[in-house]
């Protein structure tokens, strides 16, 4: 039974993107339906060497196993595959229908009408997609697919609000998260682009295959007709289309053959029939045009979208500044959130032996510079665990800030830890101060000092500090809460 569950989890997450997507789905689920992980304390207390994302993945696997969530979490992916298969069948049907529609009767094929049906709309679609990519217009890159996914996400959101069944609500939230992860941002743009090119490829390839089968087993004459355009328009268009085809080795019709194929020239008392060679030239021109101007460009765009989608998925990260992840960080990495910062390379004058033995997963570099910003009166500075050599003092006014900035000018690109009191609310003033201090730092750390370890920082206050850290470009892993003992 355990091995079966393990295989199911492996099918849910096989790459870093899949793992992060699973964690993302659990965040949506737990926003309305908190889940209990029975083994959370085990790996949060004994895996201090693991980073936060690894602990989230361990917790996610536990939740999937204990609450039997695998089928619910993969429902959206299964439905997406089924919907994709159905739409592909529709595209294939339309491609075959387009080829049949261009056959005017049992013996003739309207050559330019067939090219318009199979290539004209495809060419317009490619131009719109390229314009959308170049101008960053979302509606042009994916069209109806974007509106469909947005409608589904909003539909699931409204449905989850009125759902009373626990499992049904969990499933709806998991589906919403899956749609959000796969069809929003850069991933959504390239995912929908890939799907669009794939459907056009199915349409064109089916039309090509169907046309080849017709030409293999039946004999057709190729004609064209017009009411408004002159013959020279079609001759020039044929010459333009023939240039790349001739380079690729396809035989193409001559201007005389183009004129002979006009419907008016065949409607006489002595009907002029096509020779085998002329039919072969038209067939080569038709099939070569579908390959060169339809399938090959779409295949290149599909390959490009696939590569960019893979790149976007590799760059996909979770927003660790959200309150959900902040609370989990406090639970899963307690020593990383409430600890003394011990510098392994400094002299040991004021740090006790017990503190030195405390394992700290987020050890700061030995050369980290320390600055405090407007601490309360009951907090002494510097901390006992800081080597006085790397203490630049405390910012209390403009003069002290100017003095510390002058010191930092001589120590550019050195790691910097800024300590603040978590009791105060972050505001624009302190954000400007922290930004100016960290302007040239190679590594940035924000240390939240608490007045009393028995009174942890509230979730709302902690979330506000994390948002300030995000605005100051401080990584979420570099935000630490500790007691100034």
Q: Can you give the pLDDT at residue 350?
A: 39
Q: What is the pLDDT of residues 70-95, one digit of tens each?
A: 888 988 899 889 989 999 999 999 98
Q: Can you give the pLDDT at residue 149?
A: 62
Q: Is the pLDDT of residue 25 over 90?
A: yes
What mean pLDDT comes out for the span 454-463? 72
Percent of the chain with pLDDT over 90: 22
* 165 phi and psi angles, rounded to 5 deg: -80, 130
What mean pLDDT comes out for the span 235-247? 89
Q: Is the pLDDT of residue 229 over 70?
A: yes
* 417 phi and psi angles, rounded to 5 deg: -115, 125
What mean pLDDT comes out for the span 323-334? 80
Q: What is the pLDDT of residues 416-434, one digit of tens each?
A: 999 998 888 888 889 999 9
Q: Are 234 and 257 in contact (CB under 8 A)?
A: no
Distance CA(415)–CA(442), nearest Å, equals: 5
Q: Which of 60-64, 299-303, 394-398 has the highest mean pLDDT?
A: 299-303
Q: Can you give the pLDDT at residue 299?
A: 96
Q: Are 342 and 355 in contact (CB under 8 A)?
A: yes
Q: Is the pLDDT of residue 13 over 70?
A: no
Average pLDDT in the chain: 79
* Radius of gyration of the CA atoms of the chain, in A: 33
Q: Cα dihedral sign for 121, 123, 129, 135? A: negative
Q: Is the pLDDT of residue 135 over 90?
A: no
What mean pLDDT comes out for the span 354-364? 42
- Residues with Cβ within 8 Å of residue 157, at least 6 apart in sequence: 176
- Burial environment of residue 249 by CB neighbours within 10 A (0 to 12, 13 to 18, 19 or more): exposed
What mean pLDDT comes out for the span 313-333? 86
Q: What is the pLDDT of residues 375-425, one digit of tens each?
A: 887 788 887 778 788 888 889 888 999 988 888 887 777 889 999 988 888
Tokens encoding 259: 């004129």
Instruction: Judge if pTM exceeds 0.85.
Output: no
Least confidently predicted of 192-206, 260-274, 354-368: 354-368
Paired with 481 in beta bridges are: 338, 448
Q: Is the pLDDT of residue 171 over 70?
A: yes
pLDDT level of residue 153 (50, 70, 90 thresholds)? low
What mean pLDDT comes out for the span 267-285? 70
**DSSP secondary structure of 49-113:** TS-HHHHHHHHHHHHHHHHT-HHHHTHHHHHHHHHHHHHHHHHHHHHHHHHHHT--SSSEEEHHH
What mean pLDDT comes out for the span 203-226? 87
Q: Can you give the pLDDT at residue 335?
A: 46
């Amino acid at each position: 039974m355990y091995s079966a569950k393990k295989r199911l989890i492996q099918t849910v997450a096989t790459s870093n993107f899949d793992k992060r997507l699973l964690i993302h789905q659990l965040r949506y689920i737990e926003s309305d339906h908190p889940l209990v992980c029975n083994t959370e304390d085990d790996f949060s207390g004994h895996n201090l060497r693991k980073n936060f994302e690894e602990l989230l993945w361990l917790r996610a696997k536990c939740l999937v196993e204990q609450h039997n969530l695998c089928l619910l979490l993969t429902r959206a992916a299964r439905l997406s595959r089924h919907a994709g298969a159905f739409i592909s069948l529709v595209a294939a049907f339309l491609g075959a229908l387009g080829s049949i529609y261009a056959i005017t009767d049992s013996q003739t094929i309207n050559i330019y009408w067939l090219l318009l049906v199979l290539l004209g709309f495809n060419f317009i679609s490619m131009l719109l997609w390229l314009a959308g990519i170049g101008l960053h217009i979302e509606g042009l890159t994916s069209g109806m697919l974007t509106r469909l996914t947005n409608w589904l996400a909003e539909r699931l959101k409204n449905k989850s609000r009125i759902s009373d069944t626990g499992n049904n609500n969990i499933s709806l939230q998991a589906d919403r998260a899956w749609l959000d992860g796969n069809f929003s941002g850069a991933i959504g743009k390239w995912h929908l682009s890939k799907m669009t090119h794939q459907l056009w490829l199915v349409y064109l390839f089916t039309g090509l295959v169907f046309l080849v089968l017709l030409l293999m087993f039946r004999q057709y004459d190729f004609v064209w007709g017009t009411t408004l355009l002159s013959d020279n328009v079609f001759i020039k268009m044929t010459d333009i289309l023939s240039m790349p085809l001739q380079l690729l080795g396809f035989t193409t019709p001559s201007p005389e053959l183009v004129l002979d194929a006009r419907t008016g020239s065949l409607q006489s008392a002595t009907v002029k029939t096509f020779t085998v060679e002329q039919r072969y030239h038209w067939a080569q021109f038709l099939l070569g045009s579908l390959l060169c101007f339809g399938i090959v460009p779409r295949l290149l765009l599909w390959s490009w979208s696939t590569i960019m989608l893979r790149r976007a998925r590799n760059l996909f990260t979770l927003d660790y500044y959200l309150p959900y992840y902040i609370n989990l960080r406090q639970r899963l990495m307690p020593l990383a959130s409430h600890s003394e910062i011990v510098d392994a390379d400094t002299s040991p004058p004021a740090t006790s032996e017990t503190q030195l033995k405390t394992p700290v997963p987020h050890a700061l570099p030995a050369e980290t510079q320390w600055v405090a910003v407007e601490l309360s009166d009951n907090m002494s500075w510097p901390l006992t665990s800081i080597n006085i050599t790397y203490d630049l003092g405390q910012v209390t006014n403009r003069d002290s800030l100017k003095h510390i900035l002058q010191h930092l000018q001589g120590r550019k690109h050195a790691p910097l830890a800024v300590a603040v009191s978590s009791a105060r609310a972050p505001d624009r003033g302190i954000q400007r101060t922290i930004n100016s201090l960290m302007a040239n730092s190679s590594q940035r750390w924000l240390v939240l000092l608490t007045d009393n370890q028995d009174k942890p920082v509230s979730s709302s206050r902690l979330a506000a500090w994390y948002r300030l850290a995000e605005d100051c470009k401080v990584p979420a892993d570099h935000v630490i809460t500790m007691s100034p003992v």
